[in-house]
Structure 1
Amino acid sequence: MNTSTNNTTNNTSVIPVIGRVLLAAIFIFSALGKIMAPGATIGYIEAMGLPLASAGLVIAIAVELVGGLLLALGIKTRLVALGLALFSIVTGLVFHHAIGDQNQLIHLLKNLAMAGGLLQVVAFGAGAYSLDNKAVRPAAHLA
């Protein structure tokens, strides 16, 4: 296998951006849901026995919306992906720990799977089609 061809293919693949957008979508839609129905989220946070539910709502919206948008665009991608992976693990364990309930088990596993995908982004970066990569790539006519 010619590694230089393989590296070129990997460096221009659209697969990383598709993966980032798919991962980001759940965070963005979740944030929008919380914005549209804040009372439901506050009630859920309170039902888990957590203090400062209103602050938790604001933090969750900020993490999900800002993190999701940054991930989709490929800005500070590795750091954002790490933060979202940790957020996914913590929220999965806190809110979906009743694994005797099949629905809760599925939600927990979904959160863990998302964290796994995000850790792949941490390991391999944003890919060619990201603002992170654009910032470090010289213009084609200058290369």
Structure 2
Amino acid sequence: MSQAASIRATVATSNNLTSTASLAGRIFLSAIFILSGISKIGAPAMMIGYIGSVGLPFPSWALGIAIAVEILGGAALIAGYRTRTTAAILATFSVFTALIFHSALADQNQFIHFFKNIAMAGGLLQIVAFGAGRFSLDARRQ
């Protein structure tokens, strides 16, 4: 194999790995949003009470918005549809939910949930910066 062919093979392998890792990352990040949205549908009264307990107005509306953001945003992220915008919305949602629902940092459980949300926002900002990759609807539109 010539050196040029070897370089092309290495680049192709690297591009496939990058594209596959990008898709896997989007799926992994989306899972928590989709599952959380589905769980809210399964126990709406509990969630309305929880949302109301932190002082947010209109807890029923807030619940509907949260479900829509989590399920639709998670599905769009997996599909790679308007990925940078979707990831930015989900990152913002993650930071706001960390600040609103997990701000009692003296409680170890809340501390872990707070920084889980912040870490998720960090991963989502990587998607904002670098896009969805080749295996996405966004790549097909270009």
The aligned residue for residue 82 of structure 2 is 76
Flag the 1:78–1:37 CA change in 2: closer, same or farther, 3 A.
same
- The aligned length equals 135
Shift of 1:11: 3.8
Q: Which runs of 5+ in 2 are unaligned?
A: none
Shift of 1:135: 2.0
Distance 2:52 2:122 in 1: 28
SS at match of 2:50: helix
Task: Show the counterpart of 2:27.
Answer: 21
* CA distance in structure 2 between the aligned counterparts of 1:4 and 1:90, rounded to whole angstroms: 44
- Residue 11 of structure 1 contacts residue 127 of structure 1 at CA under 8 Å; is this kept in 2? no
- Provide, for residues 33-80 of structure 1, a one-character-per-residue CA deviation record: whole Å limited to 9, x for no partner: 001110111010011011100000000000001000000110000000
User: Equivalent residue for 2:58?
Assistant: 52
More relative contact order, 1 or 2 (CA 8 Å, 6+ apart): 1
Structure 1 or 2: more helix by fraction = 2
SS of the residue 2:57 aligns to: coil
Are positions 1:93 and 2:103 aligned together? no
User: TM-score by structure 2 length?
Assistant: 0.89
Runs of 4+ in 1 over 2 A off after TM superposition: 2-13
Gaps of 5+ in 1: 137-143
Give the alignment partner of residue 131 of structure 2, picking from 121, 125, 129. Answer: 125
Distance 1:73 1:49, change over 3 A: same
Task: Please give the alpha-carbon distance, in whole angstroms, between the structure 2 residues aligned to 1:114 and 1:44.
Answer: 22
